[in-house]
Amino acid sequence: MPFYTCVCIDCGRVFTVALNRESELEGTQCPSCGSRRINVVPPEFVSAGGG
């Protein structure tokens, strides 16, 4: 199950949710203020390897 990092637009809280699909984020609420206005923080991909 992937984890998504979210930021609440209304109060600024950063939180993580575990969902089966990204489409389930539509019903996600901020745990602090209950707002459904959230942005998903894009994941950072780290490339391991030499060169």
Q: What is the pLDDT of residue 50?
A: 54
Query: Per the structure block, which two tokens stand in for 16?
Result: 């993580």
Q: What is the pLDDT of residue 29?
A: 95
Q: How many CB atoms lie within 10 A of CB 6?
A: 19
- pTM for the complete prediction? 0.74
DSSP 1-51: --EEEEEETTT--EEEEE-SSGGGGGG---TTT----EEEPPPPP------
Q: Are 34 and 11 in contact (CB under 8 A)?
A: no
Kindly report, residue by residue over 1-51, the tens digit of the pLDDT.
Answer: 788 899 999 999 999 998 887 778 888 999 999 999 999 888 765 455 555
